[in-house]
Amino acid sequence: MRKFVNDPKQFAPEMLKGIALANPAELRYVPEYNLIMRADAPSDRKVSIVQGSGSGHEPAHVMLVGKGMLDAACPGDVFSAPPVDYVYETTKLMKSEKGVLHLVNNYTGDRLAFEMAREMAEADGIRVETLIIDDDVAVKDSNYTVGRRGVAGNFFVMKAVGAAAESGADLEALVALGKRVNSVTRTMGIALSSCTPPAKGSPLFQMAEGEMEVGIGIHGEPGRRRVKQGTANEVVSLLLEAVVTDLPFGSGDRVALMINGLGGTPIGELYLLYGIAHQRLAAQGIQVARSYVGEYCTSLEMAGASLTLVKLDDELMNLLLAPAVIPYRVF
Amino acid sequence: MRKFVNDPKQFAPEMLKGIALANPAELRYVPEYNLIMRADAPSDRKVSIVQGSGSGHEPAHVMLVGKGMLDAACPGDVFSAPPVDYVYETTKLMKSEKGVLHLVNNYTGDRLAFEMAREMAEADGIRVETLIIDDDVAVKDSNYTVGRRGVAGNFFVMKAVGAAAESGADLEALVALGKRVNSVTRTMGIALSSCTPPAKGSPLFQMAEGEMEVGIGIHGEPGRRRVKQGTANEVVSLLLEAVVTDLPFGSGDRVALMINGLGGTPIGELYLLYGIAHQRLAAQGIQVARSYVGEYCTSLEMAGASLTLVKLDDELMNLLLAPAVIPYRVF
Amino acid sequence: MSRDAAGKSACATVELVVRTIAETAIANETYFCQLDSVVGDGDFGYSLARGFEKVLENFDGFDRSSPGAFLKKVGLMIASRVGGTSGPIWGTAFLRAGSAAGAKTALSGADVVAMLRAAVAGIQARGGASLGDKTLLDALVPAIDRLEADLASGGAEALANAAQVAERAAAETSGMLAKRGRAAYTGERSIGSPDPGAVAIGVIAIRVSAAWRNYSSAKE
Amino acid sequence: MSRDAAGKSACATVELVVRTIAETAIANETYFCQLDSVVGDGDFGYSLARGFEKVLENFDGFDRSSPGAFLKKVGLMIASRVGGTSGPIWGTAFLRAGSAAGAKTALSGADVVAMLRAAVAGIQARGGASLGDKTLLDALVPAIDRLEADLASGGAEALANAAQVAERAAAETSGMLAKRGRAAYTGERSIGSPDPGAVAIGVIAIRVSAAWRNYSSAKE
Ligand SMILES: Nc1ncnc2c1ncn2[C@@H]1O[C@H](COP(=O)(O)OP(=O)(O)O)[C@@H](O)[C@H]1O
Ligand SMILES: Nc1ncnc2c1ncn2[C@@H]1O[C@H](COP(=O)(O)OP(=O)(O)O)[C@@H](O)[C@H]1O
Ligand SMILES: [Mg+2]
Ligand SMILES: [Mg+2]
Ligand SMILES: [Mg+2]
Ligand SMILES: [Mg+2]
């Protein structure tokens, strides 16, 4: 296992402690619930935004806690939804007159934990609303299945509702906004390697060089199919085709384009993909008005990338550009 | 080769094109010289800051071009210093009344290219000064060798002189400042895997799981020695010991602490290392006043990390905190 | 066998069953993770083991006023403190089984069947899965059916038969297309390997049946 | 053999040598990269091949007024357009050799030795390396010494001997500790593998000597 780790079972807590130590003025860490929270949260003048999900997706979500984005994040172990208790206690700690908004990526474990925690918190008199994020077009949606996954596109929901909450939007408005952002956000991912959860110590699946997994999620589960590795041009074609035709996006649209690294792919390659995608979109009359290139939602050290498109309007653009003070930063 | 790439020989140009497309208002790309430059540079009211070096270290240096940091970067191919022509033409394009500052990491190829280009530019009547960066404590310094390498610590030199140049500092002051920053900056790196230059197509060296290379550089060249992989605690001990004793740093010092990922190590592990290092330093009476956790200077997709300490004073702290508008960003 | 100082016999039996489930889950951590790596995310064994470790850690402190009360405490611990899908699902199962037992201090075979049916209903209410969706239900439900049908043959015999059914049904999930859980994301690729949750039910049922046989023959 | 329409003989010879060097560098790209992977960064063959590709691309357009002028153009192309350490180092070598040839249109053996000595001086001025630092100098310098000593035996013979010396000296760099270039960063680990630059000199010298022998016997 090519990892920097002490006791693999303590991977998440030790990481969280590092985040807190790096941001002593802005954040607080509550070890009992794997909780990273804004030091100045909650506030009764602002809806509290809480995100959960498993660890191993960093910077999502623990490194996105701060003014302008999340008020708290309570991750579970690597790739495991947080226990109900973490979510419940976090919700209580984040209690606000204006309510608490749960951002939940659409996975069974996460939904169950947040649903049960919400019931418990509501019994305590806390107003809670839930936003389900499901941007992954790799999963065929249907009433008879679990539906689409929430993947890298969750960044846009977090950023938009985070900014709106900061300027005082109320719970209903945030739910409506979040749903709107989710409804115009589409993602598709591809992997060139598997990844190794620290506690497992070996890769989740085997993948020879020269292969790629198409339609990969962010938990090391295999994708929809395995094919021969293509050139960067071919990879972009495949990702764009899946994303553009799904919403669909079309000529005249203004979009945000995200090339998200899955953890093991360096940013140079991501920009290479970005350049190709940007030009392809321009050729289709789709204007990229904002770019996001880097790691936003990873799958440990998996080599791979996902492509996200968000259809923009002026309101959304302004929310995306609004400042935020979070651990994931350059300076 | 688990990489997103078309023609491997076009890796750097295609990446640069992506950077430019992602930042159309701020940057210009000049394909002839692999040049990424601020769209509004040069200005006669400001010293132009130019950095070169090979590709494969992204975000260094091409993603650090922008207001408050570099005015231009002209990288060579992956791990190869730029040709003299690139540096010369870049210097001419960046010509300013206040002069041009070359930031050069201490490698033979880079030094030669910048030296020759400087001679040529000076013959054209351009004022040029050179700052050599050599923060890597893994290399034993001596008059009879090439001296220390410039590695992740170059970020601090770029950031400080970039901020000072923005507020109008003249060439002499910038050289003095850069030397000062370099003189209080120390880095040591460790790798858990090798890396694969696109044009080579296979890893530069073989490394079994469970081994680590100590004192690694940023070009895939092996380190000083190979040892059994340690726990995160042991890794931090080893890195800190090398860095702290070198300057040396001591009780009462205020420092910036950077845990830099070498490309294949996810940010979660970097924060885990950060937490350990922060606590160790605190126990020695060394106060971490500013944290940098993420990728700053990579070696393609190498799994590994480096630790940098910078001794801070108020002036330096302010320069580090000054704003900058560069492609490497979160929003 | 039982650490129950009060020595309540139904409670001791339930304790035995819970302890056996817990020990089996912990002993099979790696195996269950391996199963979950095929088309899942590899954490099933980890979540289950961490959950039942917590149960064993707190074992002596759980309310023993009745088997139902005891099971509810176990369920609460798992549901609230264990992550992944398995925390809420398994926790709910224990909670509902406990509720179905009510305040009874002695449990008949029919009571046990009713408790297991309540657990199934709870799992379905929580996760929305139907029979045939390739989840643990596909081993659990046929096993309960068999248990009920064989109750007349005596507890040990009925349990052994049910365990065999669970094991076989678990293996047969291999042919199914996953409609729930992460495995569902892989679509057709989920066919060809058994559901980890179902296999766990099979393995646990076999161990519980063996422990039960030992225990009841020792009592006789 | 020569594409030089003017048909100047000394220029044709220099062209032959440059073309042979270029073709050898390009043909050995992978091998030279491999050598540079042991304790370097694996780009030596790549830089050299890209550089000499540029030389061949522009070959017909280079100034052919004299061998010296031709070599200076080659050197300028390499020094200015090729990256890595090798661009400036090899470019400087060709530049200085060209300068040493001055405007001469015919070159004696002694002239060639003087040009090579000038190339060595240029490399040293640029890179600051001394003999024994484990660089290409450790193959180049002994080969020039031998060439000079054997000039009386005739060009083909002297070149062949010098090439053998270069090859042997290159192999012997294995035992040396690198004091220049990236290999120096690895300290003692640089001992045990030959210097890529020195090996390249050996390989190139052998090819040039063979080409020369062909060429001069064809002329006779
Ligand atoms: N909706 C559901 N209802 C019942 N059981 C489910 C459901 N989804 C998944 N499971 C069961 O959970 C098992 C996986 O558990 P676990 O690994 O903890 O889930 P995950 O990692 O997907 O959150 C599956 O093998 C299956 O038996
Ligand atoms: N200072 C120097 N002077 C002369 N030759 C040098 C020097 N440093 C390195 N070399 C030669 O250059 C070769 C490596 O070239 P190259 O791979 O282009 O350099 P790098 O990748 O280190 O920039 C070495 O094998 C050595 O022969
Ligand atoms: Mg999971
Ligand atoms: Mg190089
Ligand atoms: Mg799982
Ligand atoms: Mg090299």
Which pLDDT score, from 0 to 100, does residue B143 have?
A: 63
Query: Containing H/E element for C11?
Result: helix C9-27
Ion ligand 4, residue ranges at CB < 5 A:
B 79-80; D 41, 43, 84
Which pLDDT score, from 0 to 100, does residue A122 have?
A: 96
CA D64 to chain CA mean position, Å: 20
Task: Please give the average per-residue pLDDT across D6-35, as a whole number.
Answer: 89
Pocket of ligand 2 (CB under 6 A): B 81, 108-109; D 36, 40-41, 43-44, 47, 84-86, 89, 123, 127-129, 135-136, 180-182, 195-198
Which pLDDT score, from 0 to 100, does residue C138 have?
A: 98
What CA–CA distance (Å, rounded) separates D217 from D220?
Answer: 5
Q: Where are the domains of chain C?
A: 3-219
Query: What mean pLDDT is reported for chain D?
Result: 92
Q: How far is the CA of C166 from the centre of ligand 3 (A)?
A: 24
ipTM: 0.92
Domains, in order of start, for chain A: 11-183 (3.40.50.10440), 185-321 (3.30.1180.20)
Confidence of residue D11 (pLDDT cuts 50, 70, 90): confident
Whether A57 is catalytic: yes
Contact A268 B55 (CB under 8 A): yes
Contact D85 B112 (CB under 8 A): yes
Which pLDDT score, from 0 to 100, does residue A223 have?
A: 85
Which pLDDT score, from 0 to 100, does residue A175 have?
A: 98
Give one DSSP letter per residue of B40-66, joined into a string: T---TTS-EEEE---BSSTTTTGGGBS
Task: Please give the average per-residue pLDDT across C60-77, as a whole number.
Answer: 95
Exposure string of B165-180, with b = 16+ CB inside 10 Å and e = fewer, is bbeebebeebbebbeb
Who contacts A274 (Cβ-Cβ below 8 Å, separation ≥6)?
A257, A259, A291, A293, B18, B21, B22
Look up residue C31 and give its amino acid. Y
Contact A112 C89 (CB under 8 A): yes
Contact D185 B149 (CB under 8 A): yes
Which pLDDT score, from 0 to 100, does residue D4 have?
A: 34
Q: How far is the CA of D18 from the centre of ligand 2 (A)?
A: 20
DSSP letter, residue A209: T
What CA–CA distance (Å, rounded) separates C124 from A28?
Answer: 38
What CA–CA distance (Å, rounded) separates B259 from B291?
Answer: 8
Fold classification of D3-219 is: 1.25.40
Query: Containing H/E element for A283?
Result: helix A267-283
The pLDDT tens digits of the residues spanning D38-94 come to 989 999 999 999 999 999 999 999 999 999 999 999 999 999 999 999 999 999 999
Which pLDDT score, from 0 to 100, does residue D16 have?
A: 95
> Would you say residue C219 has pLDDT above 70?
no
Query: What mean pLDDT is reported for chain A?
Result: 96
> CA angle, B213 as apex, B207 and B214 as ends, to 5°?
175
List of chain D residues whose C-beta atoms are within 8 Å of the C-beta of residue B224: 185-187, 189
- pLDDT 10s digit of each residue in chain B, 331 long? 999 999 999 999 999 999 999 999 999 999 999 999 999 999 999 999 999 899 999 999 999 999 999 999 999 999 999 999 999 999 999 999 999 999 999 999 999 999 999 999 999 999 999 999 999 999 876 666 778 999 999 999 999 999 999 999 999 999 999 999 999 999 999 999 999 999 999 999 999 999 999 999 999 888 888 999 999 999 999 999 999 999 999 999 999 999 999 999 999 999 999 999 999 999 999 999 999 999 999 999 999 999 999 999 999 999 999 999 999 999 8
Which pLDDT score, from 0 to 100, does residue A144 have?
A: 66
Residue B10 contacts D where some CB pair is shorter than 8 Å: no
Which pLDDT score, from 0 to 100, does residue B144 have?
A: 66
Alpha helices in chain D (DSSP H): 9-27, 29-39, 44-57, 67-81, 86-101, 109-127, 137-150, 155-172, 196-219
**Bridge-partner residues for A136, per DSSP?**
A187
Contact A146 C81 (CB under 8 A): no
Contact A146 C189 (CB under 8 A): no
List of chain A residues whose C-beta atoms are within 8 Å of the C-beta of residue B321: 331
Percent of residues, chain D, with pLDDT higher than 70:
95
Q: How far is the CA of C102 from the centre of ligand 2 (A)?
A: 82
What CA–CA distance (Å, rounded) separates B72 from B60?
Answer: 12
Contact A18 B56 (CB under 8 A): no
User: Nearest CA to CA, how far is B172 from chain A (Å)?
Assistant: 26
User: Nearest CA to CA, how far is A204 from chain C (Å)?
Assistant: 5
Q: Which of C166, C199, C195 is nearest to C178 (CA)?
A: C195
Give the strand order in the sheet containing B35-38.
B27-30, B35-38, B72-73, B48-51, B100-105, B128-133
Which pLDDT score, from 0 to 100, does residue D7 have?
A: 38
Q: Which residue has a Cα nearest atom 2 of ligand 2?
A: D127
The pLDDT tens digits of the residues spanning A72-123 come to 999 999 999 999 999 999 999 999 999 999 999 999 999 999 999 999 999 9
Pocket test for ligand 1, best of C30, C131, C135, C201 (most atoms within 8 A of CB): C135
Interface residue of A62, A272, A281, A298 to substitute, partner B, most B CBs within 10 Å: A272
Crossing angle between the packed helical segments D86-101 and D109-127, to the nearest 10 degrees: 140
Give one DSSP letter per residue of A111-168, joined into a string: HHHHHHHHHHHHHTT--EEEEEE--BTTSPP-TTS--PPP-TTHHHHHHHHHHHHHTT
Beta strand B100-105 with B48-51: parallel, antiparallel or unpaired?
Answer: parallel
Q: What is the pTM of this model?
A: 0.94
Q: How far is the CA of A132 from the centre of ligand 3 (A)?
A: 17
CA B307 to chain CA mean position, Å: 13
> Would you say residue D2 has pLDDT above 90?
no
Q: How far is the CA of D43 from the centre of ligand 6 (A)?
A: 4
DSSP letter, residue B148: P
Q: Which of D127, D50, D116, D55 is nearest to D88 (CA)?
A: D127
Which pLDDT score, from 0 to 100, does residue A145 have?
A: 72
What CA–CA distance (Å, rounded) separates A107 from A150?
Answer: 7
The pLDDT tens digits of the residues spanning D134-146 come to 999 999 999 999 9
> Would you say residue A226 has pLDDT above 50?
yes
Percent of residues, chain A, with pLDDT higher than 70:
99
Q: Which of D163, D144, D176 is nearest to D204 (CA)?
A: D163
Pocket test for ligand 1, best of C85, C137, C182 (most atoms within 8 A of CB): C85
The pLDDT tens digits of the residues spanning D103-134 come to 999 999 999 999 999 999 999 999 999 999 99
> Would you say residue C150 has pLDDT above 50?
yes
Interface residue of A55, A57, A80 to substitute, partner C, most C CBs within 10 Å: A80
What CA–CA distance (Å, rounded) separates A44 from D142?
Answer: 82
User: Nearest CA to CA, how far is B205 from chain D (Å)?
Assistant: 7
Task: Please give the average per-residue pLDDT across C141-147, as a whole number.
Answer: 98
Task: Please give the average per-residue pLDDT across C175-195, as a whole number.
Answer: 92
Look up residue A250 and give its amino acid. G
The pLDDT tens digits of the residues spanning A123-175 come to 999 999 999 999 999 987 666 677 899 999 999 999 999 999 999 999 999 99
What CA–CA distance (Å, rounded) separates A243 from A208?
Answer: 27
Look up residue B40 and give its amino acid. D
User: Nearest CA to CA, how far is C87 from chain A (Å)?
Assistant: 7
Nearest beta carbon to residue A81 from set C81, C84, C183: C84
Which pLDDT score, from 0 to 100, does residue C49 have?
A: 96
